[in-house]
Amino acid sequence: MEQKKNNKNNGGRIKEESNTPSEVFASCSFSSLGLHPTLCDQLKERMGFDAPTLVQAQAIPVVLSGRHVLVNAATGTGKTVAYLAPIIHLLQKFDQRVQRSDGTLALVLVPTRELCMQVHEILQKLLHRFHWIVPGYIMGGENRSKEKARLRKGVSILVATPGRLLDHLKNTASFVHTNLRWIVFDEADRILELGYGKDIEDILNFLGTIKNKDADPEVRMQNLLLSATLNEKVNQLANISLENPVTIEEPGKLNSSEKEYRLPSQLVQRYIKVPCGSRLVVLLSILKHLFEREASQKVVVFFSTCDAVDFHYSLISGFLWSAMPQSEKEQRTKFLGCKTLRLHGSMNPEDRKTTFQTFKTEKSALLLSTDVSARGLDIPKVRCIIQYDSPGEATEYVHRVGRTARLGEKGDSILFLQPLEIDYLKDLEKHGVALSEYPVLKLLSSFPSYSSKNQANKFVSIEMHPWLVALQRGLESFISSEPKVNKLAKDAFSSWVRAYTAHRGELKQIFTVKKLHLGHVAKSFALKDQPSIVNKSIQKQLKRKRDDKQKIKSKKRFISKSRVVSSE
């Protein structure tokens, strides 16, 4: 019922609970698309892919034809294989077998380290029986000299993050790229959003002309650009890097208002309206509910800053709780029993790698992350995405929720909004993304010791719910007794407020630091008192808020005084 309701809200279209295979997979085979039989065997035997996805069925023949391609399709629709498989096919077909001394023939540019490793892993599997085509990767944070050695030996298909690639283009003389034939921009919009625009320009300049219409078709460059979202910057990149491209979009799923934003149709999207001071306790309650309802599942929670990830990670790892508050003898246990992991850009590269691999292989786990996980990461069986801190741009929303409901599987997403941020829903609606409300009070009544009829009838708001009040008290006393976590809470508070001021454009009208009650923000970090704010610009904004209030007060005083005077 809930599902149907949500679907109705979803842009006015009624959708099925999950995609049927025919909405995800094409009715043809990989071999009918023209791929080499050995590659088709690899896809089936090593990867378990029986049939191509709709996007693969459209893209593979076009890539095989040598045309430049722009793919705009929803998250989790199999875009990676859509470009890797045909490139491998074309490489194995070279008259003269590819050799290491040929250097790099295909280059795949990706925005993050995690995506780099993920694409490389798929590449390794696909190349298993084409041992003469060598896969490799280079990315920020890795050992440069080891990378240099690998490039010197020769890497046929190279997966790279832009900054590190540019570094090697400038400094590694033995890096052969004169035979380059393919450049793939995977998650192109994210590459640009992360500020790699200039690097990309430099890379394209280093690698020579891209639009070489007159070149011999046998040696012509073929570039591919893939993204689940399109925007002005991506279009610009497409203009400079693609020549007369074929555009591939998922067929027949979305109306024109959703043209830019493509979401899996079976995804259940909800928002939860929570007053600022109750955010933390509601988050923990939802997590507890999710993992108790279904012990084996994976959930990702997105935060706006690294500090927030660290704080919530320490809190969840250390917080003990007794289910029966009345009984003092009751043994306290971990509030959340699930395995908890964290991932953000300030962690060292090795830890990031381990976390990513662990979360991939675990059957049940909770990942606390910044947007470093939002793009392109393919983690099997993620059931729910919680956006605890708002994503900002609608594009980011789309990518975050895209970590679930992949390839026709079920998935839920929950977006946290404070009452004063509720207009954000209108911003999402402009892009054809519509959410229904999460029944928070129903959820709270599922905590038995706090939902006796008498108690439940007494409270009127979320803030006063006995379960949440008790939980908040427990968290605050935990924080005040743990100096390390207390420090993390204070740091997280400050960086959260800083991040809140960083919203851009129209979103600044919705996420306004001036409207925040900082005491309530502190409460959402389980702090009893509000830490002082160091950042000058925030202080200025808050001072302005105080001044405005002061002005209003004195105006009122003046008016009431003059009324008294006039009535006298």
Ligand X SMILES: Nc1ncnc2c1ncn2[C@@H]1O[C@H](COP(=O)(O)OP(=O)(O)OP(=O)(O)O)[C@@H](O)[C@H]1O
In the complex with ligand X, the residue whose CB is nearer, 8 or 410, is: 410
Looking at the DSSP bridge assignments, the partners of residue 109 are 160, 185
In the complex with ligand X, the residue whose CB is nearer, 49 or 424, is: 49
Which of 325, 356, 323, 326 has the alpha carbon at shortest distance from 337? Answer: 323
In the complex with ligand X, the residue whose CB is nearer, 379 or 516, is: 379
In the complex with ligand X, the residue whose CB is nearer, 135 or 277, is: 135
CB of 463 to ligand X, least distance (A): 37
Helix (H, G, I), strand (E, B) or coil at 185: strand
Is there a contact between 73 and 249 (Cβ–Cβ < 8 Å)?
yes
CB of 149 to ligand X, least distance (A): 30
CB of 324 to ligand X, least distance (A): 42
Distances (CA, A) of 218 to 98, 102, 422: 14, 16, 55
In the complex with ligand X, the residue whose CB is nearer, 103 or 245, is: 245
CB of 195 to ligand X, least distance (A): 20
User: How far does CA 166 lie from the centroid of its chain?
Assistant: 25
CB of 468 to ligand X, least distance (A): 35
In the complex with ligand X, the residue whose CB is nearer, 284 or 398, is: 398
CB of 408 to ligand X, least distance (A): 9
The residue ranges that bind ligand X (CB under 6 A) are 49, 52-53, 56, 75-81, 228, 376, 378, 402, 406-407
Q: How many CA atoms lie within 13 A of 188 on its CB side?
A: 31
DSSP codes of every residue in 454-474: HHHHH--SGGG-HHHHHHHHH
In the complex with ligand X, the residue whose CB is nearer, 28 or 207, is: 28
Say if strands 320-321 and 333-334 run parallel, antiparallel, or are unpaired: antiparallel
Q: Which helix (H) or strand (E) holds 265?
A: none
Two tokens, residue 320: 């003990």
Q: How far apart are CA 330 and CA 332, in angstroms?
A: 6
CB of 270 to ligand X, least distance (A): 21
Cβ within 8 Å of residue 54, ≥6 positions away: 23, 24, 25, 26, 77, 250, 251
Say if strands 411-417 and 298-302 run parallel, antiparallel, or are unpaired: unpaired
In the complex with ligand X, the residue whose CB is nearer, 108 or 499, is: 108
Is there a contact between 492 and 307 (Cβ–Cβ < 8 Å)?
yes
CB of 52 to ligand X, least distance (A): 5
Instruction: Map 545-565 to HEC letters.
Output: HHHHHHHHHHHHHHHHHHHHH
User: How far does CA 66 lie from the centroid of its chain?
Assistant: 32
In the complex with ligand X, the residue whose CB is nearer, 402 or 432, is: 402
Q: How far apart are CA 116 and CA 437, in angstroms?
A: 36
CB of 378 to ligand X, least distance (A): 4
Which of 529, 541, 548 has the alpha carbon at shortest distance from 501? Answer: 541
Report DSSP state, residue 10: T
CB of 493 to ligand X, least distance (A): 32
Cβ within 8 Å of residue 313, ≥6 positions away: 340, 342, 368
Q: How far apart are CA 269 and CA 150, in angstroms?
A: 44
Q: Residue 97: left (phi > 0), alpha (psi -120 to 50), or beta?
A: beta
In the complex with ligand X, the residue whose CB is nearer, 80 or 494, is: 80
CB of 297 to ligand X, least distance (A): 17
In the complex with ligand X, the residue whose CB is nearer, 60 or 485, is: 60
CB of 80 to ligand X, least distance (A): 3
Q: Residue 381: left (phi > 0), alpha (psi -120 to 50), or beta?
A: left
In the complex with ligand X, the residue whose CB is nearer, 42 or 53, is: 53
CB of 168 to ligand X, least distance (A): 25
Full strand arrangement of the beta sheet holding 365-369: 340-343, 365-369, 298-302, 382-387, 411-417, 267-273, 436-437
In the complex with ligand X, the residue whose CB is nearer, 317 or 358, is: 358
